[in-house]
Amino acid sequence: MMMLVRLNMRMALAALCGGVLLVTLYWSRCGDLAHRPIGSVLSYASPDRATNEIECSINGEYSVACRRDLDQIYVPFSFLHKYFEIYGKLTFVDGTEKFEWSHSYSKVYHPKKKYDPRGTFTTFENYNVEVRDRVKCISGIEGVPVSTQWEPRGYFYPTQIAQFGLAHYSKNITEPPPRVKIIDDGDKFLEKWIVSQDAVLTREFDSELKSNVLRFSTSDQASSQVWLKVNISQDFVLSMDLQLRPNSSMTVILQNKDKKETVYLHYVTSTQLIYAQEDHTYYGIGVDKKWRRITRDLIIDMQKGWALQDRPKRKSPRNKFKISGIILSGSGGVSDIRVSSSSHTAHFHAAARWLRAAQRARGGWPVPARRRVAPGVPDLRPGWHSAMSQGHGISVLCRAYYRSGDAGYLRAAQRALLLLDVPSGAGGVKALWMDKYVWYEEYPTQPPLFVLNGFIYTLLGLYDLHVMEGENSVSLAKKMFDDGMLSLKTLLPLFDTGSGSFYDLRHFTLGVSPNIARWDYHATHVNQLYLLAGLDPDPILINTAKRWEGYMQGKRAAHN
Window contacting a second copy (CB under 8 A); options: 114-122, 146-154, 363-371, 538-546: 538-546
Kindly tell me which of 435 and 471 has the beta carbon lying closer to a second copy: 435
The interface mask with a second copy, positions 490-519, x = CB under 8 A, is ---xx-xxxxx-xx---xx--x-xxxxxxx
Q: How far apart are CA 307 and CA 305, in angstroms?
A: 5
Q: Minimal distance in Å, beta carbon 1 to a second copy?
A: 21
Q: How far apart are CA 197 and CA 217, in angstroms?
A: 11
15 binds a second copy (CB under 8 A): yes
Kindly tell me which of 406 and 538 has the beta carbon lying closer to a second copy: 538
- From the list 7, 9, 11, 54, which residue makes contact with a second copy (rule: CB under 8 A)? 54
207 binds a second copy (CB under 8 A): no
Cα–Cα distance list, 410 to 332, 397, 504, 530 (Å): 36, 6, 31, 27
- Smallest CA-to-CA distance from 296 within 155, 134, 145 is with 145
Which amino acid does the sequence have at 206?
D
- From the list 3, 36, 210, 290, which residue makes contact with a second copy (rule: CB under 8 A)? 36
- From the list 11, 88, 110, 372, which residue makes contact with a second copy (rule: CB under 8 A)? 88
What count of other Cβ atoms lies within 10 Å of the Cβ of residue 213?
A: 25
Kindly tell me which of 70 and 173 has the beta carbon lying closer to a second copy: 70
Q: Long-range contacts: 541-546, Cβ < 8 Å, 24+?
A: 541/489, 541/492, 544/492, 544/493, 544/496
Q: How far apart are CA 140 and CA 122, in angstroms?
A: 28
Residue 506, SS3 per DSSP: helix
24 binds a second copy (CB under 8 A): yes
- From the list 7, 9, 26, 152, which residue makes contact with a second copy (rule: CB under 8 A)? 26
CB of 451 closer than 8 Å to CB of 443: yes
Q: How far apart are CA 339 and CA 234, in angstroms?
A: 10
Q: Kindly identify the residues of this chain, within the stretch 285-344, that bind a second copy according to CB under 8 A.
A: 315
Cα–Cα distance list, 67 to 48, 56, 73, 289, 539 (Å): 13, 9, 6, 73, 47
Q: How far apart are CA 501 and CA 455, in angstroms?
A: 15
Classify residue 110 by its DSSP letter: -
- From the list 6, 11, 63, 278, which residue makes contact with a second copy (rule: CB under 8 A)? 63
Window contacting a second copy (CB under 8 A); options: 102-110, 185-193, 203-211, 525-533: 102-110
Cβ-based burial of 263 (10 A; exposed 0-12, middle 13-18, buried ≥19): buried
Q: Kindly identify the residues of this chain, within the stretch 436-465, that bind a second copy according to CB under 8 A.
A: 436
Kindly tell me which of 245 and 556 has the beta carbon lying closer to a second copy: 556
- From the list 1, 32, 97, 361, which residue makes contact with a second copy (rule: CB under 8 A)? 97
- From the list 4, 22, 357, 361, which residue makes contact with a second copy (rule: CB under 8 A)? 22
Kindly tell me which of 23 and 190 has the beta carbon lying closer to a second copy: 23
Kindly tell me which of 101 and 189 has the beta carbon lying closer to a second copy: 101
Sign of CA dihedral 115, 121, 123, 125: negative
Window contacting a second copy (CB under 8 A); options: 47-55, 143-151, 221-229, 342-350: 47-55
Q: Minimal distance in Å, beta carbon 484 to a second copy?
A: 17
Q: Length of the chain in residues, anyone?
A: 560
Q: What is the DSSP string of 153-222?
A: T-B--HHHHHHHHHHHHHHHHHSPPPPEEEEE-SSS-----EE-TT-EEEEEEETTTTEEEEEEE--SST
Q: Minimal distance in Å, beta carbon 77 to a second copy?
A: 4
- From the list 6, 70, 77, 107, which residue makes contact with a second copy (rule: CB under 8 A)? 77
103 binds a second copy (CB under 8 A): yes
Q: How far apart are CA 447 and CA 452, in angstroms?
A: 15
Kindly tell me which of 221 and 543 has the beta carbon lying closer to a second copy: 543
Q: Kindly identify the residues of this chain, within the stretch 111-150, that bind a second copy according to CB under 8 A.
A: none
Q: Minimal distance in Å, beta carbon 84 to a second copy?
A: 6
3 binds a second copy (CB under 8 A): no
45 binds a second copy (CB under 8 A): yes
